[in-house]
Amino acid sequence: MINHIKTMFLMILLTIILLVAGELLLDDGGIIIALLVAIVLNYFAYWYSDKMAIMMTRSRPLKENEAPQVYEAVRELAANSNLPMPRICLMPTEQPNAFAAGRNPSNSVVAVTQGLVHMLSQRKLKGVLAHEMAHIRNRDILVSTLAAVIAGALMVIARFGMYGMMFGGGRRDGHPALLLIKLAAMILAPVVAIFIRMAISRTREYQADASGATFARDPEESLASALQKMESYARRRPLQVNEAASHMFIVNPLSAKGLSGLFSTHPPSKRGLSVCATYM
């Protein structure tokens, strides 16, 4: 019920934010364009959230003969968590990472990277997949996708507003006060997108750590050590992925060094150690 409320809240929030951004950043007819965009995004984000996540991360279906160990682990975890078998996809990158998406457990997908399959032992792999199955069981995968849609839409509108100012102002650009409002909106739109993703992501990651630990039944080895190894690799070799979708991954796929770490949508990988202590 809580996640249903969150979903409705995010869909309403998406509409309001896009209407405000459209009115401030676009020229004549901006609010109408934003309303149409909001309706389309809400529809597709709800009914096709799994496909949108796959498209945003350039993943593809993974055949069982390509990674039988992944299918074996997911089948066991699905049985342990009383969930239907999700579709499994592969993201072609060497960074070890994973995410889950979908409208509900019956329409869900778990995506893994090539690096995750190749670098982790079966026990660590199982722990990571347990975390993603926990996202499905907790029904927060739709909320996560909606957050990605909001972030992406805000960034696109801000970019269009910037192009509009660079290549010819609209009917209101001649007024200094309105010009300042437009500049402020362009700066704040991406910041608002970051805070929306942060607010949703950090809570859901801790919840998935706890649930995943029970599904894997081997928390110390399979979860905590896997998280640390994955985050270490991600810091050395950040992943080229749509920033709006970065919060869906189990560890931050982008570099979180310096000031960017202050706005990371992911809690530190050491979170797994405290979770493990609870289940030892």
DSSP letter string over 148-214? HHHHHHHHHHHHHHHHHHHT---TTTTSHHHHHHHHHHHHHHHHHHHHHHHHHHHHHHHHHHHHHHH
The predicted pLDDT at position 146 comes to: 73
Q: How far is CA 24 from CA 154, 155, 246, in A?
A: 12, 14, 27
More confident residue, 39 or 127: 127
Residue 79 has pLDDT above 80, yes or no: yes
DSSP letter at 224 equals I
Catalytic residue (choose from 132, 205, 221, 243): 132
In the chain, where are the structural domains located? 2-279
Residue 243 among the catalytic residues? no
Task: Give the mean model confidence (pLDDT) for residues 137-145.
Answer: 79
CA distance 229 to 217: 20
Query: Could you tell me the two tokens for 115?
Result: 């690096």
Would you say 272 and 227 are in contact if contact means Cβ atoms under 8 Å apart? yes
Residue 189 has pLDDT above 80, yes or no: no
Q: What is the pLDDT of residues 214-273, one digit of tens each?
A: 887 765 566 778 888 898 898 888 888 777 677 788 888 886 544 444 444 445 554 444
CA distance 209 to 190: 28
